[in-house]
Amino acid sequence: MTNPTSSPPPLVEHLDRGPLTEHEMAARVARDIPHGSYVNLGIGRPTLVADHLPDGAGVVLHTENGMLNMGPAAQDGQIDPDLINAGKIPVTELPGAAYFHHADSFAMMRGGHLDICVLGAFQVSAAGDLANWHTGAPDAVPAVGGAMDLAIGAKRVFVMMTLFTKQGAPKLVPECTYPLTGVGCVDRVYTDVATFQIGPGGATVLETFGIPYDDLAHRLGVALSRQDWT
């Protein structure tokens, strides 16, 4: 496998369309998951990625509560309280599944055996720091779950999020202001208006959706780079 994070492809500006919908973002992430990968999809929006993996992709889904080869969400007649995903949603089992306990499941994750995990985020820094577990609000009940293990465990960490908050604040930032989940752990950021690669030199824009690179760079308060066609 060649490592797609090593040398970014030339920038593509998709200006004939608007920002990606949630499902288009999920499809965009799915396109970057190599055949046969072992993948953990975080709770919430990243779960949608499963719906966009083509038949025969050979992708094996891990759920950190102790299973490989997890199938789609259970339909009415299939619901089994003993078979849930990390979001506690009833799911199904595919042929070739395996069950294991929590220490083994997180050993698998922490030991770097998962090829990719896809996570949501409040903020990602240009250095790849991730903040996705805690808003830092004083009255919030903090809860971390497996977020910190996922952030540092997988071979490649993909973040999937809208690029701006509802209030218009950028979520790709020079430094996270929310409490961190992991330091320097993010490899790619898939958003509605652009896809970023995070590397030693910071954030490189791979493509934009409905916005030219220069406008994007202007809206974000982060140093960006781009690879031009040569």
Partner 1 sequence: MNVMTCGDPDEAVAGIEDGSTVLVGGFGTAGMPADLIEALVRQGATGLTVVSNNAGNGDTGLAALLDKGRVRRMVCSFPRQSDSWVFDRLYREGRVELELVPQGTLAERLRAAGAGIGAFYSPTGAGTLLAEGKETREIAGRTHVLEYPIKGDVALISAHRADRMGNLVYRRTARNFGPVMATAATTVVAQVREIVDIGALDPEAVVTPGIYIDRVVQVVPAA
Nearer to partner 1, 108 or 216 (CB): 108
Catalytic residue among 13, 22, 64, 175: 64
Phi-psi region of 94 (alpha: psi -120 to 50; beta: other; left: phi over 0): beta
Q: Which residues bind partner 1 (CB under 8 A)?
A: 1, 34-38, 58, 60, 62-69, 80-85, 88, 93, 95-103, 105-115, 134, 139-149, 152-153, 179-183
Q: Based on CB atoms, which residue is closest to partner 1, 20 or 173? A: 173
Cβ nearer to partner 1, comparing 141 with 168: 141
Length of the chain: 230
d(CA 130, CA 150): 11
CB of 50 to partner 1, least distance (A): 17
Contact (CB, 8 A) for 77 and 55: no
Q: How far is the CB of 28 from partner 1 (least distance, A)?
A: 22
Residue closer to partner 1, measured from CB, 117 or 211: 117
- Find out whether 88 and 82 touch, Cβ atoms under 8 Å: no
Q: Closest approach of Cβ 93 to partner 1, in Å?
A: 7
What is the smallest separation between the CB atom of 89 and partner 1, expressed in angstroms? 10
Can you count the helices (H) and strands (E) in the chain?
Answer: 4, 14
Check if 64 is active-site.
yes
CA nearest neighbour of 228 among 210, 208, 205: 205
* Cα pseudo-dihedral 66, 37, 25, 31, rounded to 10: -160
Task: State the catalytic residues.
Answer: 64
